[in-house]
Structure 1
């Protein structure tokens, strides 16, 4: 197994174990009837992996593996974020808002200015923010179709590594987000943080203890994964000149739209960008460890050690 794939699977295994152990300990349950659609989607992706390998179509199987890993990460990651939120640790909103203030950011004035932007620009920015899952799928398909299989595996490994770090940090520094009432503005959409405030409150006060796997919502404020993932996706497309510049431009718009449409503090975005760079730097050596090594044995041994550390860190 290639080293990057081994790292991704090791982290996902650690996340699964953490979700099961924490969920049982905290009295969470899963709405079985609402889990059918996600289960069917995972089964379909697994079938794509098997069929692609049997047919000898490496590009198809690689794309299916990447989609399967990212889908599993989304389900497990959001579930783990819910479980951490249910621990009801002290909120960091005041500290995060103070950090923004030290950067010279006055959010009421910024929001008022944003509300006066041309409607088409706001619409485009909102679409960019809410298209992150579509960006990920397109990136996977482009990398697979162009034969950049190793790059695809590195992208997924970086995304999963950065994602689990995001969840762990947010568990230590929980926050509702930079909330603002949309009724006070003429054009601004309700931010994700505003829409999820009751969900987070229910997790924290104990009134929500059943998971609907068909409607999991990202509740992380700090760091912002909406700032992290677009950078990783754009980086993965860098060898493909025709795809890189459009992808990088759309990624930049997504990051810029994140405070407004995600309800994030500026420091959330800054931390997310730094995390993306760290994750990319961390997975780059995995490509070198696989080079010229049949079966990637050296890479697997290195990743097994890293994966064990990741699992221990989660549990």
Structure 2
């Protein structure tokens, strides 16, 4: 296999499989066997590709692209599965509190959404930006691998894993569905034309939260996290991944700023969801960079060493 540091993430994937299995048993739900088999087969093929190019062809860059893509495929599926199982704890939604926080900031979602829907051009731009997050991640992994930026790729992968796990973990304790779901569930008329999060989307959120289902159908799984916004997490972590990569980092920066703007609009989020997502991403990046490691903390707290050298 490739000789870059990624095996801790493999161990975490195994842990995720075991946790998901325990949750399926605990809630007496049935997994989507076909989806699990397809994801497992895809991951295995990517890992085999990594082994072939790493061990037999000595093509480390291609091997790393295969390997990290396999990890991403497995992680995103397993984490999404965990997310949809954790909702079955049916913790109280904190959306009323988040709406209140938005109001304190002077942000009124219904007013803002009406303004953007009156501008079809900007509404379309925000939709395209919002939908670009996962394709950006896939492109970024291949780009970093093929340009030999293995350290940056591993740090990006670590930040992605930490940020996603933190987001899902927090949301499991304090779930929320966003402004769109809050107002639609309150019976208020909301024009969802042209938005990614619409009436059908909110019905899917309510369906999973109610728990009146037996099989976790992968075709129905969707993004159900509001606070912290995972799209905001992705935007900041993606900026970090592209940072200072020639020819692409400035366009990536601009695109992901638009993604952040699109989150409350096209994604139906509260404004504070964006701030929380940005905070989670920054902390995860700092962890990936090792700035919160025990060695770094020790270096900050230890007394300075006297310089006894002679000139």
1:9 positional shift: 2.8
8 Å contact 2:84–2:221 — kept in the other structure?
no
8 Å contact 1:193–1:219 — kept in the other structure?
no
For residues 3 and 169 of structure 2, what CA distance do their matches in structure 1 show?
A: 26
Alignment partner, residue 102 of structure 1: 104
If asked which structure has higher relative contact order (CA below 8 Å, sep 6+), I would say: 1
Q: 1:204-228 deviations in whole A, cap 9, x for unaligned?
A: 3221231223553121111011001
For residues 231 and 246 of structure 2, what CA distance do their matches in structure 1 show?
A: 24
Alignment partner, residue 41 of structure 1: 42
For residues 280 and 76 of structure 2, what CA distance do their matches in structure 1 show?
A: 18
For normalisation by structure 1, the TM-score amounts to 0.83
Q: 1:31-59 deviations in whole A, cap 9, x for unaligned?
A: 32444433332233222212221211111
For residues 52 and 2 of structure 1, what CA distance do their matches in structure 2 show?
A: 12
For normalisation by structure 2, the TM-score amounts to 0.84
Corresponding pairs, count: 287
Alignment partner, residue 173 of structure 2: 172
The structure that is helix-richer by fraction is: 1
SS at match of 1:242: coil
2:205 paired with 1:200: yes
Alignment partner, residue 69 of structure 1: 71
Structure 2 gap ranges (5+): 296-311
For residues 37 and 20 of structure 2, what CA distance do their matches in structure 1 show?
A: 19
User: CA, structure 1 residues 104+183, in 2 after alignment: closer, same or farther (shift >3 Å)?
Assistant: closer
Alignment partner, residue 133 of structure 2: 132
| Structure label with greater radius of gyration | 2
2:265 paired with 1:260: yes
1:114 positional shift: 1.0
For residues 30 and 106 of structure 1, what CA distance do their matches in structure 2 show?
A: 39
For residues 193 and 162 of structure 1, what CA distance do their matches in structure 2 show?
A: 26
For residues 6 and 103 of structure 2, what CA distance do their matches in structure 1 show?
A: 41
Q: 1:61-112 deviations in whole A, cap 9, x for unaligned?
A: 1111111111111111111111111111111110111111111111121111
For residues 121 and 153 of structure 2, what CA distance do their matches in structure 1 show?
A: 33
For residues 228 and 194 of structure 1, what CA distance do their matches in structure 2 show?
A: 25
2:22 paired with 1:21: yes
2:275 paired with 1:274: no
For residues 193 and 38 of structure 1, what CA distance do their matches in structure 2 show?
A: 28
